[in-house]
Structure 1
Amino acid sequence: MTLNENRSVFICQSGCCCFPGGFSKANRRIIGVYFSGVLFTLAWWIFVDGVITSARMLENPAPPGFEDWASGIVLTLGMIIVHSIDLQSLRSDSDMYSYDSDYSRVWFCRLMMFLGSTMLAGGLVGSVVVLVFKYVLHELSALDSYLGICQVIQCSLILISTLLLWAVPRQTDDYMGIS
């Protein structure tokens, strides 16, 4: 069997062979969710690598502590809160002075969105503060401050993962009744 000019040696001749429907809304969601998961996993992988590397150093002037873990945990909790909120619940046509159950639901959803967003921003700022106060101000070498650098990279990747997961189009799951 010989190859002619019309056939390629590659199975995937177009950029979207894994998605027979092309890049439809559902496929963009799948790609976005998977890529967001890869970023989230990579973030924690980098941080754990920094903790292990820092803990194995013989004379570490700044050993790992809870302050190194806190910002990643806060960002992860913020990510969970932000993505647990129904987007349709954030919008309301009801009067804010009526105090009906619809408005209290909207108010609670907005409060939780604010809390989650604050946790995301606070976690990222906290990682930078730990890097500066624990590693940079003590003028440690790059190897000694490796954990602080990994922590800032971790928090940045978790935030990017959260924003990517927020940006992908949402679809309705008719089986579970979840939107």
Structure 2
Amino acid sequence: MEHSNHLFRFNASMFKLPKSAKLRSFGVYLSGALYAIGFWSIVDAAIFSKTVNASDVHVTFVDWIPFICSSLGMLIVNSIEKSNLFVDSNNSFLSSGSGTNAWAARVILFCGFSLLAGGLAGSFMVLILKFLLKHYTFPTLGMGVSNIICNGCIMLSCVVLWLSQNIEDEYSYSLAL
């Protein structure tokens, strides 16, 4: 059996996305719709908190921190090109910068996904600490649920946008020497 230098058994070429401009456009629009739903969810909770809410609990800056983390994570993840993540193991010693660039891109991608996960986990913590432990009921509890919906939609939006940005259409070509 041949020994390879790959970390996983599956090769990345198995997971190539189909080449379609329509699929790419649909993914970008779907990502925008998911982000808009998430953003409107937290804005709606903030408006409800200040105008209609009859309780003493309101949306404060603490509620916005998970949204900010998720949005920064989305910005970081979608600024990385998928081609920068993979380095051909045969050519990594020939070009001294390619291995370093791939390593740096992977670290930055990890930081972006960590911000996304931290935003989602933070929204759960806000729900638990601010609403559930104090035994609030709906509609006050809905502000915490809106925070989770917001960060979940942003995370899905990030994944859809990253996948759709890395779909090559039929007419794209690479100018590599």
Pair 144,102 (structure 1): closer, same or farther in 2 beyond 3 Å: same
| 1:70 counterpart (52, 65, 82) | 65
Residue 167 of structure 2 is aligned to residue 170 of structure 1 = yes
1:99 Cα deviation after fit: 9.6
TM-score (norm 2): 0.77
**Cα contact 1:135–1:145 (8 A) shared by 2:** yes
**Structure 1 outlier segments of 4+, above 6 Å:** 95-99
Matches of 2:26 and 2:129 in 1, distance apart?
38
Identity %: 31
How many residue pairs match? The answer is 154
| 1:118 counterpart (114, 118, 138) | 114
Q: Which runs of 5+ in 1 are unaligned?
A: 1-22
1:59 Cα deviation after fit: 4.1
How large is the Cα RMSD of the aligned pairs? 2.6
1:61 Cα deviation after fit: 2.4
Q: Which runs of 5+ in 2 are unaligned?
A: 1-17
- Residue deviations 1:76-125, cap 9 Å, x none? 11011001001111111358789932222111101100000101111101
1:57 Cα deviation after fit: 3.9
Higher RCO, 1 vs 2 (CA within 8 Å, ≥6 residues apart): 2
Pair 87,74 (structure 1): closer, same or farther in 2 beyond 3 Å: same
**Cα contact 2:19–2:167 (8 A) shared by 1:** no
Q: Is the partner of 1:101 in helix, strand or coil?
A: helix
Q: Which residue of the partner structure matches residue 134 of structure 2?
A: 138
Q: Which residue of the partner structure matches residue 153 of structure 1?
A: 149
| 1:81 counterpart (76, 82, 92) | 76
Larger Rg: 1
Pair 58,37 (structure 1): closer, same or farther in 2 beyond 3 Å: closer
**Cα contact 2:84–2:105 (8 A) shared by 1:** yes
1:148 Cα deviation after fit: 0.8
**Cα contact 1:71–1:124 (8 A) shared by 2:** yes
Matches of 2:99 and 2:131 in 1, distance apart?
47
Matches of 1:24 and 1:114 in 2, distance apart?
26
Which residue identity does 1:115 align to in structure 2? Answer: C
Pair 58,31 (structure 1): closer, same or farther in 2 beyond 3 Å: closer
| 2:96 counterpart (89, 100, 104) | 100
- Residue deviations 1:1-49, cap 9 Å, x none? xxxxxxxxxxxxxxxxxxxxxx971001101111110110111011101
